[in-house]
Structure 1
Amino acid sequence: MTARHTILGGKVHLYKRPDARFWQCSTTVGGVRFRDSTKKDELSQAEDAAEEWYLELRSKFKRGELGELKQVNKEKTFREVAELFLREFKALTEGHRSPIYVGGHERRVKKHLNPFMGDKPISQITSGLVQEYRVHRVEQCKAAGGKAPARNTIHQEIVVIRQVLKTALRHQWIAGLPDLSEPYRLNTKVSHRAWFSPEEYRALYTETQAMAKKPPHRRYAREYAQLHDFILFMANTGLRPDEAARLEYRDVSVVDDDRSGETILVIECRGKRGYGPCKSTANAVPIFRRLQKRNQPQPTDRIFPSLQRDLFNRILEKLKLKYDREGRPRTFYSLRHTYISFRLLEGANVLQIAWNCRTSVDMIEKYYAAHIKTRLDASAINVRSGATTESGKPGVIAANDNAEEGEELAA
């Protein structure tokens, strides 16, 4: 329990937290709250230090012409430190972080963090206050739209709070970082990415192919054709949408692969992970040549200068494919997930897929491979010591076709 004490007729408060070494002191001068450490662990010494600190603080204020007190030294607020953090972050990460990512931090500070804690002294941003913020965000979103914010949304906002506090720590405005870990955290279910099964993918490209051949609106015939080729291109290369948006014709080469004996595309990707090579399937080659023939491009022209997201979503809604069975929405990113899942279904090497998609094996195993049923070998799973199949092969449980109806076989 926190120990508390007052001096100077209650003008100065002394308190000591259970896990702290020194006594802390706080007071209000000119309507502004101030806090500091006495650097003393004995109460009598802390009282003397706090009294000197209070008198020195009063001396740092002077009267104005209208008799109002003027502040000359006060603790930094969260708003001031957040402004400094954003200025540092934008300047020091230029060229390394996406402007969209930097803009996301600015938006979180201005829209959510400053209205809640912007005026609080930076030393008052404690674990308890951050927990109050989590509760506030959930209640706020439920009141506005009836649904709590996603766990990742809150996580990104806590990341910004931590970065602001680290900025204050670097400038020695706080003595340490509070614990910002999430309490009551439950083990979250690992779910696979929203992708298109082979049947769903066939329904999608059949619909876009029909629209490309007979566009519902002749004025937008080129857009229908571009979207159809974009879907096929993405599902045969595994590119991220931002990589596809940056892709220029000079980044793609048609080559004969010695190992597979097929003609494929070798792509120089630039996106989320910087530069990385990608090798497509053979099915991507006629799509690329069709794009070249249609657009008659210069080498520096972008292959997909605009992404038809609205048209794509309307087609998904029409085919009732916008959401998978778990309710996750499908987007352009789902085409990348489809590529990875298809390669796993075909038995491709996980490490090679990870390299080709510029991601990690852990990501592949965690979010994609877990739901691919063809990766399960029944003969390796249903092993029993001493059991034999009808063919005489040892170690595998054999189905008993002669079992009586309703009779249960021993495992």
Structure 2
Amino acid sequence: MSEKSVNTKKQIKHLRKGLSIYKTERSPYWHARVYISSQKKYVVRSTKETSRLDAAEVAEEILADLKSKQKNNHATAKDQSFEHFAQIYMNMARVQKRGVKNKYAFSDEAKILLRETDGVISYFGKYDVGKITSGMVRDYLFFLDSRRDKPLAFSTKAKQCIMIRKVLMVALEDGVIDIIPPMPKQRTKDAPRPTFTDKEYKHLMTTARRIASEGKTKVRGVLISHDHVHMWQFIVHSFVRPTETELFALRHCDIVVGGNPTHLELTLFGKTGHRISATMPFAQGLYQSVRSKSPNAEPTDYVFMSEYQNRTTAVNTARRLFNHVLEESNLRKDMSGNPRTPYSLRHYALQARLRGSKGKVNIYWLAKNAGTSVDQLERFYLKNMALSPEQIRNLQST
């Protein structure tokens, strides 16, 4: 049975329509929950009182104060409102990202802005952009948490702050405001990046090749073949993300076979936008194997799992096949109990390159080539890597 969240409301007292007080395990104080009818939203404030009767009085004061502030902070003209500049930002973003192949480039921002009842525009829309403060943004984040059984992740809160800042930047550029208030700092917690050791990866590929050679294993009617094994190896030797916008978006026209040194040049439109990426030498042989099996493929045909025109279906099918191989290899989870996914192949690829180069690879170029950043490499890969014999010798050198 799962533990109750410390934010779960344990005592609730309804004072009147649109006003209530409650307590949680997290705090000894009562909180006031006030409904602001003009914006169709709830606002939560701590009463700083442990007594229910005292808290009820403070709640009434909070309600009166909020109503007064709402009137003072609302824009007197529509072209001064947050909603006005949010609309300008969205129009600009649509135009700028119209040619981007990543279909998720704009939709995520739109969801944050336009989410009903508690989206950024729903909350700040009527506010004068010049009167929005850091405290108001902090209150908005608290409001979001108050509507949920569990608080939002810090990374999710950070995305809300980034979106607010982008809209305010438009107002700044138009000369309507002189400064953007600092956004509340969000504590970030790095999610684990499950990967493989060299021994585990070798065992995984040995198992995958055995299953493919037997030609008997089907997952939801799909036979695991050597084409799938080559696809998984391609991730490791190209650093691409196993996603709908990178690996599964690759068409033959996106690949140039290069030499001196042996490599493939990939044109990608992934998570971080457009980039030209070079592969390791082995990827060229994997690609040529794909080409030899499809000599009549059109330049616009997909490279991997081309039988699926719906690329979401291709991604989901590939994931199920990979999960089966993980189970057969007894590698479904890492030593810390974190589940592995096709993304673990990319994580292994980056660590293997850093480790295999014996410190010679330029991490800036590796990060750029993989569509990530040096900061990401240091946070998620370098700090978790065991020292190589060369590094230990360097450490012990006199």
TM bin, normalised by shorter chain, reads: 0.5 to 0.7
Cα distance in 2 for partners of 1:363, 1:158 equals 21
- The match for 1:336 among 346, 371, 378 is 346
Q: Do the aligned residues in 1 keep the contact of 2:251 with 2:302 (CA within 8 Å)?
A: yes
Aligned to 1:289: 288
Aligned to 1:261: none
Q: Tell me if structure 1 keeps the 8 A contact 2:102–2:269.
A: no
Q: What is the number of equivalent residue pairs in this alignment?
A: 306
Tell me the amino acid that sits aligned with residue 239 of structure 2.
Answer: G
User: In the TM superposition, what is the alpha-carbon distance from 1:34 to its structure 2 partner?
Assistant: 5.5
Query: Is the alpha carbon distance of 1:327 and 1:77 closer, same or farther for their aligned partners in structure 2, counting shifts above 3 Å?
Result: farther
Per-residue Cα deviation, 1:337-388 (whole angstroms, up to 9, x for no partner):
21111122223522164465355555434432222223463344346xxxxx
Residue of structure 2 in register with 1:270 after alignment? 268
Superposed, 1:153-302 pairs within 5 Å as 153-182=156-185, 193-213=193-213, 214-217=215-218, 220-221=221-222, 224-241=225-242, 242-252=245-255, 257=260, 264-272=262-270, 273-282=273-282, 284-296=283-295, 297-302=297-302
CA–CA distance in structure 2, aligned partners of residues 122 and 329 of structure 1: 44
CA contact (8 A) 1:223 1:308 kept: no
Unpaired stretches in structure 1, ≥5 consecutive residues = 1-31, 38-56, 58-72, 259-263, 384-394, 396-411
Aligned residue number for residue 110 of structure 1: 114
Matches of 1:380 and 1:103, distance apart in 2? 48
Deviation per CA, 1:251-293, whole angstroms, max 9, x where unpaired? 44556646xxxxx4422332245242413233x3443233223
Report the Cα distance in structure 1 between the residues aligned to 2:347 and 2:334, rounded to whole angstroms.
13
- Whole-angstrom CA distance in 1 between matches of 2:210 and 2:315: 17
1:28-107 alignment runs, 5 A limit: 33=71, 73=77, 76-95=80-99, 98-107=102-111
Measured in 1, the distance between the counterparts of 2:251 and 2:78 equals: 54
Structure 2 match to 1:402? none
- Quote how far apart the aligned CAs of 1:192 are: 6.5
The separation in 2 between residues aligned to 1:356 and 1:169, in whole angstroms, is 34
**1:229 is aligned with what amino acid?**
H
Partner of 2:361: 350
Letter in 2 for 1:269: T
Distance 1:124 1:227, change over 3 A: farther
Q: Tell me the equivalent position of 2:139.
A: 132
Q: What is the letter of the counterpart of residue 135 of structure 2?
A: G
Call closer, same or farther: CA 1:149–1:205 in 2, change over 3 Å.
Answer: farther
Structure 2 residue 122 is matched with structure 1 residue 122:
no
Partner deviation per Cα, 1:30-67 (whole Å, 9 max, x = no partner)? xx935699xxxxxxxxxxxxxxxxxxx9xxxxxxxxxx
Q: Between the two proteins, what is the percent identity of the paired residues? A: 21
Q: Which amino acid aligns with 1:138?
A: D
Cα distance, 1:158 vs. partner?
0.8
Aligned partner of residue 266 in structure 1, secondary structure: strand
Q: CA deviation at 1:234?
A: 0.8
TM-align CA RMSD? 3.6
Structure 2: gaps (5+ residues) = 1-69
Q: CA deviation at 1:224?
A: 4.7
Residue 372 (structure 1) aligned to one of 357, 360, 385: 385
**Structure with more contact order per residue of length (Cα contacts < 8 Å, sep ≥ 6):** 2
- Quick one: structure 1 residues 350 and 149, their matched pair in 2 at CA, closer, same or farther if it must change by over 3 Å? farther
Q: Cα gap change, 1:256/1:181 in structure 2, threshold over 3 Å: closer, same or farther?
A: same
Q: How many Å separate the matches in 1 of 2:257 and 2:97?
A: 36
Say if 1:78 and 1:371 are closer, same or farther in 2 by CA, change over 3 A: same
Distance 1:327 1:372 in 2: 18
After TM superposition, give the deviation of residue 315 of structure 1 in Å: 2.5
Q: Contact (CA 8 Å) 1:350, 1:361: kept in 2 or not?
A: no
Contact 2:258–2:265 (Cα < 8 Å) also in 1: no
TM-score (norm. length: structure 2): 0.63
What is the SS of the residue equivalent to 2:179? coil
